[in-house]
Structure 1
Amino acid sequence: MSILVVCGGNSSERDVSIKSGSAIHQALQNLKYDAQNFICYNKKDCIETILDRKPDIVFIALHGGFGEDGTLQAALEMHNIKHTGSNSLSSKICMNKFFTKAILKEYHIPTKPAFLVKNIEDIEHIKSFPVCIKPNSEGSSIGVEFAYDNIQLEAKCIELIKQFKELIIEEKITGIEATLGMVDGECLPLIEIAPKKGFYDYKNKYTKGATEYIIPARVNQSIIDEINRIGKIIYKALSCKGAIRIDMMLEKNIPYVLEVNTIPGMTLTSLLPNAAKNVNISFEMLVEKILKSAYEGL
């Protein structure tokens, strides 16, 4: 059985993706699988190379862009090539924060109301501050800004719309940031995220020592139980598969879901592997679990 680990891409998360791909590839080699690592550059390059090599399974390690928004998954499904992670429709929904929130509301899962912004006129009805502004389909906290009045809101949205096309704006949440990793529908220990300065932006995510990670999170067991219950509903409602990570903020003990990541970071220091390690699931074991979820009968 041949496995092709695909990473890189052309999204803003390319560098992290390459690190994830390298770590996954090494783990598969340690496990004696027939695995190759492919660093792609764009959608055309990626799909053409996969079809040319004809692997039995594609282990997707692309973060953001065409590798996480369902585009690559749809192409692979069209050619009957097995791949890790969620299917194309689930990937497309989860990559779109606004779509995800709409579904979460239908299942009565706590998430702050959000406004979709495609042009500057769309912000006219926003009267309450402070607010959080974020790209609708980006990861790693890229492009996240806060506004405390109309002047800041307009200035920041003008620049962000140019770069990201679609934004969502929601009430700024004050509280504990946490993330729940899940594999095959089962919850891993909740991680509390505590930046030493500012909020959990791209710099604090990837600068060594800038953020403290507490596993398990310092919250009451009753809250953890509720978060796990919510996680299982989300996993099923969004038809997720393999590994996911659910990001949230705890405000007055209410877990407000921010987004669902269908291809979480898989570097040796990423959140999902660290949560797994806390319950004695090694990095290699985690990679194998994700691989097996893609192919019945492995």
Structure 2
Amino acid sequence: MNIATRPDQSWGPIWGAADVTSAKGAGDENFPVGSLLIAKAMRPHVHAYYAFARAVDDMADNTRLSPQAKIARLEGMAGVIRGELEAPPRADAQTAATLRVHLLETGVPFETATDLTVAFCRDAVKTRYDSWDELVDYCRYSANPVGHFLLRLHGEPTRTLAPSDALCTALQILNHLQDASDDLRILDRCYIPRPWLAEEGVTVDDLRLVRAKPGLRRVFDRILDGVDRFNRDARALPGMIRDRRMRLEAAVIVNLAHRLAARLRREDPVAGRVELSKSDKIAALGAALRFLP
């Protein structure tokens, strides 16, 4: 009998005893997840992908699991996607089994899911980053596969992948800035390159203060300079997408990424979480309508 389906209470050394999936849903995200802009026929595939991504993210961020337990579960999820393991009848593991069915049905590569587990296995053991390149490489696995999934699902050409990678990397780094203080406080994890902090005479622990020091603000702005470069490259994406509804979805997200970057320039993510407003979202949709034809 496969060890992943062993009928004991703990489900064996891969799955552990408890489902650690959080109560978060698509409504907790900054950006549209399988929104009404996506064609109705495509939404079940997108929702299955999101459920899997949410489950593996929760595994990596769970504070009750050891690093070894996190990696075992994450590798188990990847094994289910590849058809190497069977998932036990539990909600978190079943997201992988369900997504495998969708990937087989649509022909979207397994790597769009399993690459996420590479990033989250890294999160299980790595809590500090020592260069911008390290951070961008993390985004290659944690964020870029999402864009690949959506574009492959819609049958878009390979040339769309590079601007999609730029957009997804920008979005991931923006999220890191939004959550920098909470990530440190809850998970003792910080994605901000430590040499950049040292150059400005500040430390990771300055993220625990009630507001950003001037040196920390300069580091944030340096990060946002990099995000702006990715966002500029991402502007080409909507015009390259053939599917009308996916083109509109991409245009909205590109606009939201620019708006969130601008907010993070003006506001202090140490003092409180910087978020998009309702007016930002309405304006982004309005700006995206030019891509509707």
- TM-score band, normalised by shorter chain: 0.3 to 0.5
TM-score by length of 2: 0.32
Structure 1 or 2: more helix by fraction: 2
